[in-house]
Structure 1
Amino acid sequence: MSRAATGEGTLVVLDIDGTLLDTPHLPAWRRGLARVLGDHAPDRSAEISVEQYHRHVAGRPRQVGAAAALGIAGLDPTPELVEELAVVKQELFLEQAEETVLFPDARDFLDAAAREGTPVAFCTASRNAGELLAKRLPGLDGGDWLLDRLHQSLGPHGHYGDVPRPEALRRVARAWNWSPDRCVLVDDALSGVLAGQEVGMRPVLLDRFGLGVAAPGCPVVATLDELRPLPGGLRLPVA
């Protein structure tokens, strides 16, 4: 893959869950679904594969993810079941949330971005990811600078879990007075990448698990080490 393209003069928008933070969302979805199925459909399987999670659940608002998880299990995602699973999953996630860590390549990437003064911003549909990241940034080089950029990116609520992903990305761009077509989005979820393309951002898909997920015209990297923060943007692979 050529490494010739440079996204200079761009705002680098970073997804948080799965891109920067190794959050226990998939285990929580699996355990939550098992609990709900035990009450309503004990003959159904609660297993969600890594590929199913990244294709259908990751990067989506909680209720949307719950509906997708129920569908994977072969259940009709009625509003009552969706809400039940969403609540149970959140309870289980919070039990493990403090075990969340930065991926090593994410730590290196953020350290480099702070040193270079790369114009970074953050976006998440999770109601918890922003707070979890905020607790882990002070230990990094330039942690205070990164923390300020996190807070400005996510606004007073600390997340964009209540709006569709394309609108969340537009809000992040507006928070920094950048047009979406001058933004590079780095996301590990196909849904996030497609939302970025919808609003005119240039997306990069992070495929940590080698799932072969792809979107037309979107470069794919296996690790953030393949992306180089620059003072004016990001060294990019070519799709």
Structure 2
Amino acid sequence: MADERLIVALDVSAMDEVKKLVEEIGDTVVYYKVGMELFYAVGAEVITYLKGQGKKIFLDLKLHDIPNTVAKSLRVLTSLGVDMINVHATGGAEMMKKAAAAIQDEAVNRGIEPPKIVAVTILTSTSKEQWKEMGYQVDLDTHVIHLAKLAQRAGLDGVVASPMEAQTIRETCGKDFLIVTPGVRPIGAAINDQSRITTPSIALESGSTHLVVGRPIYTAMNPRHASENILKEMESVHI
């Protein structure tokens, strides 16, 4: 059975690319991330396709707006039947509370399992130098923990955060809090535009519950083989 802790990012913009990748990877992977590029290009078609293939879906749209707009948008997205959705923690406690409540209420109305809702803390592409340039007085690591605690108090299931902060988030928010970590790269893989990254095994050992991996898999000559190698590294971690 595939390890649901590995989420493969479908960072492409056409359905033929999605189908080719999913078919190449086969039953090795069960969980896929649909981000803004793909969702804006093809809409709910990709959700229907992945569900038809028996896959789980993390809909990564990073909602960030006034509380009522986010809540209404999440009602629509919940109706798609995805398994995880995210918002930006910087939207604030009130936005996150309304987001969580809207998802639960819509799921009950439709008689479906509510998707997990997680909050993006600070993007993994943000370096500490860039953080200072934006004028924040508090250091990046401290602010990530503050946002994680804010999300937990607002009733969210977890956060999206760099693997570099996973251990402190786990210690702060407890064992049942989800920590979804992008910025995961197998040894030898290109860093690309990520800044705060680490390997799959270190991320899991630090407390991550889900690893989001994109380019090291979908740009590989053999995406299935690349996925299997990451899964082997994950299996070596005993938590």
TM over 0.5: no
Name the structure, 1 or 2, with higher relative contact order (CA <8 Å, separation 6+).
Answer: 1
TM-score by length of 2: 0.32
TM-score by length of 1: 0.32
